[in-house]
């Protein structure tokens, strides 16, 4: 089934990150043009632009209070923004090399970031301070994810293995893999039992978090898998790739349900709305799209 996006939004340069607000009424995009844009939904009108980062914005996340946005950038900082005024509230520093990825706990209290300094830093978001620096990776970190219950952090990158960290104890608790190539994307399932990883070898692997065993491998992309997200109920997994496509798989069967083709270059970010009806994608072509999935994955 061919599907056409219902909204199209643009930046002046590549878009690296995208997120729906919890109520589904806004979309945030972060770009290589160093800006964050907030878009009203369902209209797709630009509401406000946030500026202050000195490099590309690699991650954006609405905090649960729906009053604040958390962002991370290659400029080595995390920043918290006031969504109403657009004012910068907090700047957090700690990495010594490009900050490439960030994820927040579901309650918004904590964030974890990974960087080219091979370190994971755990942050107290309300306090704006680092809580712990976690070392163990032997190469660049590309991706990071928080488990839904906030207890576990997964990180991965060029060393090809997924490392698991206990957020409360602030210590390593396991290692999964390795993959055959550098890992570029990670996502936890909503129940926290599975972590999905996409790599430079074009494959997506699903791993049991407790046992470290491989559950399934999804193929179909022709190039690197740059972004991953589970649907809110965990039944589907969406992936974005350097092959310009977004693909949605049925998690249980592994069947590809739909291929979304509108981007003209690498798809760096994908995000589901909280109700699972919409998917947003963003890429190197400076464009973000919103897709209505209600008829595509029935």
CATH no. for 7-292: 2.130.10.10
pLDDT score recorded for residue 295: 74
Given this model, what pLDDT does residue 149 score?
Answer: 96
Residue 175 has a pLDDT of: 96
Give the pLDDT of residue 298.
47
- pLDDT of 65 reads 87
Residue with tokens 């109403």: 84
Residue boundaries of the structural domains of the chain: 7-292
In the sheet with 152-157, reading across from the earlier edge strand, the strands are: 141-146, 152-157, 162-166, 171-176
Encode the chain (298 residues) as per-residue pLDDT tens digits: 578 999 999 999 999 999 999 999 999 999 999 999 999 999 999 999 999 999 999 999 999 988 999 999 999 999 999 999 999 999 999 999 999 999 999 999 999 999 999 999 999 999 999 999 999 999 999 999 999 999 999 999 999 999 999 999 999 999 999 999 999 999 999 999 999 999 999 999 999 999 999 999 999 999 999 999 999 999 999 999 999 999 999 999 999 999 999 999 999 999 999 999 999 999 999 999 999 998 765 4
**Would you list the DSSP string of the chain?**
-----SEEEE-SS-EEEEEE-TTSSEEEEEETTSEEEEEETTT--EEEEEE--SS-EEEEEE-TTSSEEEEEETTSEEEEEETTT--EEEEEE--SS-EEEEEE-TTSSEEEEEETTSEEEEEETTTTEEEEEEE--SS-EEEEEE-TTSSEEEEEETT--EEEEETTTTEEEEEE---SS-EEEEEE-TTSSEEEEEETTS-EEEEETTT--EEEEE---SS-EEEEEE-TTSSEEEEEETTSEEEEEETTT--EEEEEE--SS-EEEEEE-TTSSEEEEEETTSEEEEEE-TTT--
* pLDDT tens per residue across span 18-31: 999 999 999 999 99
Report the pLDDT value the prediction gives residue 66, as an integer from 0 to 100. 84
pLDDT per position as a tens digit, 108-124 = 999 999 999 999 999 99
């Amino acid at each position: 089934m061919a599907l056409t996006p219902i909204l199209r939004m643009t930046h002046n340069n590549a878009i690296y990150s995208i997120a729906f607000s919890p109520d589904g009424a806004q979309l945030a995009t972060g770009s290589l043009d160093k800006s964050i844009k907030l878009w009203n939904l369902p209209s797709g009108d630009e509401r406000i632009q946030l500026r202050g980062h000195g490099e590309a914005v690699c991650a954006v996340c609405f905090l649960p209070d729906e009053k604040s946005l958390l962002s991370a950038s290659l400029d080595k900082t995390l920043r918290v923004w006031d969504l109403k005024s657009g004012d910068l509230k907090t700047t957090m520093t700690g990495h010594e090399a490009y900050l490439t990825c960030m994820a927040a706990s579901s309650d918004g209290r904590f964030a974890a970031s990974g960087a080219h300094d091979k370190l994971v830093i755990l942050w107290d978001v309300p306090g704006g301070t680092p809580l712990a620096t976690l070392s163990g990776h032997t190469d660049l970190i590309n991706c990071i994810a928080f488990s839904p219950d906030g207890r576990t952090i997964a990180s991965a990158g060029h060393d090809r293995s997924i490392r698991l960290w206990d957020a409360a104890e602030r210590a390593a608790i396991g290692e999964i893999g390795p993959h055959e190539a550098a890992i570029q994307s990670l996502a936890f399932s909503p129940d926290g039992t599975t972590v999905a990883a996409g790599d430079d070898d074009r494959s997506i692997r699903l791993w049991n978090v407790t046992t470290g065993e491989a559950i399934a491998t999804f193929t179909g992309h022709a190039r690197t898998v740059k972004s991953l997200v589970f649907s809110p109920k965990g039944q589907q997994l969406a992936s974005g790739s350097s092959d310009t496509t977004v693909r949605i798989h049925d998690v249980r069967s592994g069947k590809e349900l739909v291929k979304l083709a509108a981007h003209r270059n690498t798809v760096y970010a994908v995000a589901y709305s909280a109700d699972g009806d919409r998917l947003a994608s963003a890429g190197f072509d400076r464009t973000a799209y919103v897709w209505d999935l209600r008829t595509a994955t029935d």
